[in-house]
Structure 1
Amino acid sequence: MDTIKMQEIKHQNKNRTFYYFSPENSSEPLPLVFCFHGAGSSARHHMKISRFHKQMNTYPAIFVFPEAIQVDADKRMTKQWNEGRTKNASYQNGIDDVGFTLEIINWFKSYYPLDERRVYATGFSNGAAFSCRLGVECQEVFAGVGGVAGPIVQEIAEGCEWIKPMPFVFFMGTADPIVPFDGIYTDDYEIDQLNSADSTTELFAASWDEKALKKKEESLEECSACKTSYYDRYGEEKVLQYTIKEGGHTWPGGPPSQASNWTGEVCHELDASMLIMGHLMNCNN
C-alpha cells in the first residue's frame, strides 16, 4: 500500500510543503524523483494525473511532489513554479523555487539514505519548464530531466552552458491549445516566452558529444506519435522526444477526465510516467 507523507520546511521565511512516497524499510541509497505540478494545479492533483508514485514497485525511489506558492489568493493561475518567465507571478514576486527544491534535497539527505548521484526533475506544463530550468542551472545536482507539455523558457535556454551530459525525455502534443508545440505564439495561447518542443529537446541533446550523437526518428505503431531518439557513441538512447499527433495539454497515460475543450485530447497508448522513469533510470545505471 502506498503511504503518502507530508512535510513542511521553511524557506524565504515561508512555510513550504511537499508530499512524498518512499519504499518501506530500505537500507540502500535511494534515487530521488521530483514531480512538479502545473500552473494553477496542486501536488495532490499531479499525483492523480501522473500516478508517478505507482512506479515505485518497479523503480525503488523516493517520489516527492512539492507544492508551489499561490501569489494571489484570488487568482488560481498565480500558483506557478518560477521557471524563469518574466511574466510569471512567482518570478515577479521573487519566489525562490530553485532554492526551495535544493532545501528539500537537503532535508532528505538528513532523514533518508539518498543516492545523490540519482536525483531527477520531472513535471507537467509549468512544472516541466521548471524541471528544465533545474536541469540547466543545477547540473551538479540533477542526473536527468523528464517533462510533459512544458518547454524550456527562452531566456534560460539562451544562458545555458553545459558542463556535463544531461539525460532528457520530453512529451508534447502537436495540438496543445495552451502552449504552442512549435513555439510560435499568437493571442490564442495563454503562455509565452517558452521555446518550441523541438528546440528544447535539441538543447538537451547538445549537452552530449555532438560529433558522436546520432539522431533517429520513428513512428510508433501503437499510437499516433513519433519518437525522436538521440544515441551516444555506444548506441545508447540518451535524449528522447515523443511527439503526439493531435495531442493536447494533457499527461499521456493519465485519466481520460483530463480531456476538455480547454486542454485537448489525452494520449492513452503511451504511459509518460513509466517511460520517463524507464529512460532516466536506464541512463544512470
Structure 2
Amino acid sequence: MLSLSLASVALASLVDTVQGRSAGCGQKPSFEAGSFKNYTTSEGREYRVWLPANYDSDKVTPLILSYHGANRVIENQVELDRLSDPFFNTDHIVVYLQGLEASRPGHTVWQGAPDCDSDDIGFTTDVLDAVSDELCVNRRRIYATGKSQGGGFVGRLACDAGLSKRIAAFAPVSGAYYIKEIDKKEDCHPESVKIPCDAGRSNIPILAFHGGADTTINYNGGFRSGACLPAISSWAKQWAARDNLDQMPENTTIPNAQNGVQMSYGGGLVSLVYDGDNIGHAWPSTQPNSDNDGKDLAAFNASASIMEFFRSHRLE
C-alpha cells in the first residue's frame, strides 16, 4: 500500500494530467528540447522560451515566468537566474519576458514602476495564452520570479485578480515594490504603508529575498523616484495577513551568512529571506554573477531555493 505522502503525490500527478493539460499538449513544438526560441506578440512585445531537454509534448510540464530588472534585457536575466541551466532546472519550461523602454532611451521598466505606463499584466496574459497553446503546459504549476523592478512586478502579479488565479507561487528577488499612489515624501511611511492588492484567491505562496546592504532598494524602504517603497519586512507581513497566517514568523538562521535569516509564516507559505548584512542589490549566489562581481557571495543559491519552493506548490 502506498504511504499517505506517496498517495498524495500520485493523486496530484493524476489531477495534473487530467485538469492541468493545456491546448498545446500533443503538438510538436516548433523548436528543439533543450534550446531557446525568441517570440514576438501581435503587439510587438518580445519574449524567449526555453524547453528542458526532457520535454515531452504528451506530458504536462511546469512553467516559470522570469522578469529582468530595470535597464536590463532578457539576456541579463537568463545569465542571472540560471533557471535554464540544468544545474538548477531540468524539467520546467522557462519564459523570459522583455520590458518596454520608458521615456528615457534604453531605460526598460515594468508596470508599477514610477515612470512606467505599460500594460505588463496584459502582456503576461498574452504570453501565457500563446505558450499554453503551443506547448504542453501544466496549468496547475505556473510560477513567477524576477529581480528588482521585475521582482516588484512579480508582487503585482500576485495581487492581480486574474493572474493570481493562474500562477501558483511567486518568488521575487530584491523586489522594488513601488506604491505609485503615494507620490510625496512626507506621506511615505515605510513601516506602515498599506500595499494595494486585489488578489483573486487566498493562501498565495510567497518566497521573497532581500539583502541588508541593498542601497538601491533599501531593506527598510523609503521614498524613491517619486514613489513610496515599503519596508520589506512589512511587505512580507502584509502577505501573511492576506493569507490569514499568524503575524509572528518562525525565524531560521541561514548557515554561514552574515546575520542571514529566513522568516517563515504559516510553515513557509509566506517566507522572507534576509540574505545577510553584506548582500546588496543582488540575486543571491554562491558563485560570481553580474550582480555580485565575485564579491560578497551569498551563503546560498536563490535559484535552488526558488526551484524547491515552486516544486512544493500547485493550484488546487
- State TM-score, norm by structure 1: 0.83
Gaps of 5+ in 1: none
Q: After superposition, where does 1:111-126 map in structure 2 within 5 Å?
A: 111-126=134-149
Does the alignment pair 1:145 with 2:170? yes
Query: What is the RMSD computed on CA atoms of the aligned residues?
Result: 2.5
1:50 maps to what in 2? 81
2:257 maps to what in 1? 223
- Deviation per CA, 1:74-117: give whole Å up to 9, x if none: 5323x1011x24x22x22xxx11110000000001211111111
Residues 191 and 45 of structure 1: is their aligned pair in 2 closer, same or farther, counting only changes over 3 Å? farther
1:178 maps to what in 2? 216
Paired with 1:255 and 1:75, the residues of 2 have a C-alpha distance of: 29
Counterpart amino acid of residue 229 in structure 1: S
Give the C-alpha shift of residue 197 in structure 1. 1.2
Residues 209 and 258 of structure 1: is their aligned pair in 2 closer, same or farther, counting only changes over 3 Å? closer
Give the C-alpha shift of residue 266 in structure 1. 4.4
Paired with 1:256 and 1:102, the residues of 2 have a C-alpha distance of: 30
Counterpart amino acid of residue 110 in structure 2: W
Paired with 1:18 and 1:99, the residues of 2 have a C-alpha distance of: 14
Give the C-alpha shift of residue 164 in structure 1. 1.7
The DSSP-based 3-state class of the residue aligned with 1:176 is coil
- Deviation per CA, 1:144-169: give whole Å up to 9, x if none: 11011114333686332443211011
Residues 51 and 58 of structure 1: is their aligned pair in 2 closer, same or farther, counting only changes over 3 Å? closer
Confirm or deny: 8 A CA contact 1:179 1:190 kept in the other structure.
no
Counterpart amino acid of residue 251 in structure 2: E
Confirm or deny: 8 A CA contact 1:247 1:265 kept in the other structure.
no
2:92 maps to what in 1? 61
- State TM-score, norm by structure 2: 0.76
Number of residue equivalences: 263
Does the alignment pair 1:274 with 2:304? yes
Aligned identity (percent) is 22
Confirm or deny: 8 A CA contact 1:227 1:240 kept in the other structure.
yes
2:13 maps to what in 1? none
Paired with 1:209 and 1:153, the residues of 2 have a C-alpha distance of: 24
2:207 maps to what in 1? 169
Counterpart amino acid of residue 242 in structure 2: S
Give the C-alpha shift of residue 265 in structure 1. 5.7
1:22 maps to what in 2? 51
1:41 maps to what in 2? 72
Paired with 1:62 and 1:191, the residues of 2 have a C-alpha distance of: 36
2:239 maps to what in 1? 204
Structure (1 or 2) with the larger CA radius of gyration: 2
The DSSP-based 3-state class of the residue aligned with 1:154 is coil
Pick the aligned partner of 1:107 from 107, 125, 130.
Answer: 130
Confirm or deny: 8 A CA contact 2:195 2:235 kept in the other structure.
no
Give the C-alpha shift of residue 218 in structure 1. 2.1
Confirm or deny: 8 A CA contact 2:174 2:209 kept in the other structure.
yes
Gaps of 5+ in 2: 1-32, 182-193
2:156 maps to what in 1? 133
Greater mean alpha carbon deviation, residues 143-152 or residues 127-136: 143-152
Paired with 1:272 and 1:222, the residues of 2 have a C-alpha distance of: 15
Confirm or deny: 8 A CA contact 1:216 1:228 kept in the other structure.
yes
Give the C-alpha shift of residue 33 in structure 1. 0.5
Confirm or deny: 8 A CA contact 1:178 1:191 kept in the other structure.
no
Counterpart amino acid of residue 301 in structure 2: D
The DSSP-based 3-state class of the residue aligned with 2:284 is coil
Counterpart amino acid of residue 204 in structure 2: M
Residues 117 and 217 of structure 1: is their aligned pair in 2 closer, same or farther, counting only changes over 3 Å? same
Paired with 2:198 and 2:102, the residues of 1 have a C-alpha distance of: 31
Counterpart amino acid of residue 141 in structure 1: R
Residues 226 and 57 of structure 1: is their aligned pair in 2 closer, same or farther, counting only changes over 3 Å? closer
Does the alignment pair 1:258 with 2:311? no
Residues 272 and 192 of structure 1: is their aligned pair in 2 closer, same or farther, counting only changes over 3 Å? farther
The DSSP-based 3-state class of the residue aligned with 1:277 is helix
2:196 maps to what in 1? 159
Residues 123 and 17 of structure 1: is their aligned pair in 2 closer, same or farther, counting only changes over 3 Å? same
Give the C-alpha shift of residue 282 in structure 1. 1.0
The DSSP-based 3-state class of the residue aligned with 1:283 is coil
Paired with 2:129 and 2:299, the residues of 1 have a C-alpha distance of: 37
Give the C-alpha shift of residue 237 in structure 1. 2.0
The DSSP-based 3-state class of the residue aligned with 1:117 is strand
